[in-house]
């Protein structure tokens, strides 16, 4: 099934690439289309699903004006609202992976009227400066090996073909995102090195997105605004975003539950798709997955 392609105009003139599948009564928005569209395509069987690329990412506009990037995650929150407005949605749900899980939560706090419910898959902690107990994070020899190999590759950055360098970098990085390094081949489609936005995404991440996440100072009043149901899905062997961060979102959001995927890394929807995708479908249909639990203080 082919989707309808759209160009979504943001308030500051950036165009976001979006693809809509289906015309069901329940709308679901999924950020980061270039990575998520194929992996979450099963959602299109039961929902009207809109996948879109973030600003300066994927097939959205490349942005060279620093003023249109420097707010980092807060630009992304406003862009999610632009997507809602473009498709004239009075209500919708969000399924968000990695740092876009924080985007979904911040949107829920800023625009609670429109959001029915949201899913966070492997989100970073709500407070990235707060310590996380060692048993709630996962660092192993794979992490150390990946970063050592990237360091060896770094001197070639100025001379190598940028597409080839990107491909080599992603070959090294893939084991970092799966709980079992033997599953790294399941991410062979990740990288999209022919896309210049994706080749250059680390610059935007390091200069704008990561600092904006690190600067978040969310209060109890902020969390209280997001009263809609929230499902947090997190793998216990996530090397990119610690499992303890997912637990903290589930603890602090007023109507959230945590689904733990034992042994999975940063992409449980790829490593454990049957469990993860079934849980998402159950949640979007209005019920809590049976294995999802509330997290007490």
- pTM for the predicted model, two decimal places: 0.96
Query: Could you tell me how far CA 117 lies from the centroid of its own chain?
Result: 16
What CATH topology corresponds to 4-137+205-284? Answer: Rossmann fold (3.40.50)
Q: What is the rounded distance in angstroms from the CA atom of residue 47 to the CA atom of residue 195?
A: 29
Q: Return per-residue pLDDT of the chain as tens, 297 residues.
A: 688 999 999 999 999 999 999 877 799 999 999 999 999 999 999 999 999 999 999 999 999 999 999 999 999 999 999 999 999 999 999 999 999 999 999 999 999 999 999 999 999 999 999 999 999 999 999 999 999 999 998 887 777 789 999 999 999 999 999 999 999 999 998 989 999 999 999 999 999 999 999 999 999 999 999 999 999 999 999 999 999 999 999 999 999 999 999 999 999 999 999 999 999 999 999 999 999 999 987
User: Token pair of 63, please?
Assistant: 């942005």
Q: What is the rounded distance in angstroms from the CA atom of residue 242 to the CA atom of residue 134?
A: 10
**So what's the pLDDT on residue 258?**
98
From the number of C-beta atoms within 10 Å of its C-beta (0-12, 13-18, 19+), residue 23 rates as exposed
Residues 6+ apart with CB under 8 A from 283: 117, 119, 229, 231, 289, 292
User: Token pair of 31, please?
Assistant: 């950020």
Q: What is the dihedral of CA 62, 63, 69, 74, to 10 degrees?
A: -50
**So what's the pLDDT on residue 126?**
98
What is the DSSP-derived secondary structure letter of residue 254? T
User: Token pair of 22, please?
Assistant: 């289906």
Q: What is the rounded distance in angstroms from the CA atom of residue 37 to the CA atom of residue 102?
A: 19
CB 198 within 8 A of CB 191: yes
Q: How many CB atoms lie within 10 A of CB 195?
A: 18
Which contiguous run of DSSP H or E holds residue 28? strand 27-31
Helix (H/G/I), strand (E/B), else coil: 163: helix
**So what's the pLDDT on residue 43?**
94
Give bridge partners of residue 193 from the DSSP assignment: none
Number of H helices, E strands in the chain: 12, 8
Half-sphere exposure of 5 (CA within 13 A, CB side): 7
Greatest CA separation found in the chain?
Answer: 53
User: Token pair of 55, please?
Assistant: 């600003």
- How many residues comprise the chain? 297
**So what's the pLDDT on residue 1?**
61
List the chain domain ranges: 4-137+205-284, 141-196
């Amino acid at each position: 099934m082919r989707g309808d392609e759209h160009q979504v105009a943001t308030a500051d003139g950036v165009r976001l690439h979006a693809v809509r599948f289906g015309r069901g009564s329940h709308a679901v928005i999924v950020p980061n289309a270039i990575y998520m569209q194929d992996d979450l395509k099963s959602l299109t069987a039961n929902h009207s699903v809109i996948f879109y690329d973030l600003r300066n990412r994927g097939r959205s506009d490349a942005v060279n004006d620093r003023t249109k990037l420097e707010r980092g995650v807060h630009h992304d929150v406003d862009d999610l609202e632009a997507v809602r407005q473009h498709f004239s949605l009075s209500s919708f749900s969000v399924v968000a992976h990695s740092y876009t899980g924080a985007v979904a939560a911040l949107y829920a706090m800023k625009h609670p009227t429109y959001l029915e419910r949201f899913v966070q898959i492997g989100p970073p902690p709500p407070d990235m400066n707060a310590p996380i107990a060692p048993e709630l994070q996962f660092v192993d020899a794979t992490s150390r090996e990946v970063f050592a190999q990237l360091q060896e590759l770094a001197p070639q950055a100025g001379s190598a073909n940028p597409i080839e360098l990107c491909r080599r970098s992603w070959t090294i990085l893939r084991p970092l995102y799966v709980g079992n390094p033997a599953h790294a081949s399941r991410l062979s489609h990740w990288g999209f090195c022919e896309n210049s936005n994706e080749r250059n995404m680390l610059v935007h991440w390091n200069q704008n997105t990561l600092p904006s996440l690190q600067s978040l100072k969310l209060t109890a009043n902020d969390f209280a605004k997001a009263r809609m149901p929230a499902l947090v899905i997190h793998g216990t062997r996530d090397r990119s975003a610690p499992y303890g961060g997912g637990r903290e979102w589930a603890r602090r959001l007023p109507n959230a539950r945590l689904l733990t995927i034992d042994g999975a890394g940063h992409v449980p929807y790829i490593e454990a798709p049957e469990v993860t995708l079934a849980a998402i479908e159950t949640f979007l249909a209005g019920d809590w997955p049976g294995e999802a639990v509330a997290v007490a203080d």
